[in-house]
Amino acid sequence: MSSPPWTVRPVPYLDPVAQELVAELDRDMQARYGGQDATPVDPEHFADPSGTFLVMEDGAGPIGCAGIRTHGADAEIKRMYVRASRRRRGFARHLLTALEAYARARGFTRVILETGTAQPEAIALYEASGYVQIVGYGYYRDEPTCRCYAKWLI
């Protein structure tokens, strides 16, 4: 079996490629919701042993990014993003699988995340990947457009 033509690698949250992708994500959130994600983010939350931040790339350059951090007893997905020009090719599913593998390897039994109704493609991905809607949590828990999901890693 040959290797995929792309790679997923952990990087510091403040890595220039990661920050380029996060800036694109922020612009996407601005267009969708009228503002950037205001959830407090500490770069150290995405460093071992608290979490990780992944960048996906291929020969054409960066494709997307995603992070996972500890949230109580759970692993929480944050800053998941695939560039608009690279969407609908399965890259987000591969990033999600990599995050779940990271969480499993560290003994987490559940992964949680926040998304919103202006991201129907994200909601479709999470639901197709076995995530179920849960009670709101986090910074946006009281926002009517917020949707929170969880997946048990059994």
pLDDT given for residue 90 in this prediction: 94
What integer pLDDT is reported at residue 89 of this predicted model? 93
Terminal CA-CA length for the chain = 27
Quickly list H helices, the chain: 16-33, 91-105, 120-128
Q: What is the pLDDT of residues 25-83, one digit of tens each?
A: 999 999 999 987 888 889 999 999 899 999 999 999 999 999 999 999 999 999 999 99
Q: Are strands 51-58 and 6-10 parallel, antiparallel or unpaired?
A: antiparallel
Q: What is the mean pLDDT of residues 133-147?
A: 92
Q: What is the chain's mean pLDDT, rounded?
A: 94
* Prediction pTM value: 0.93
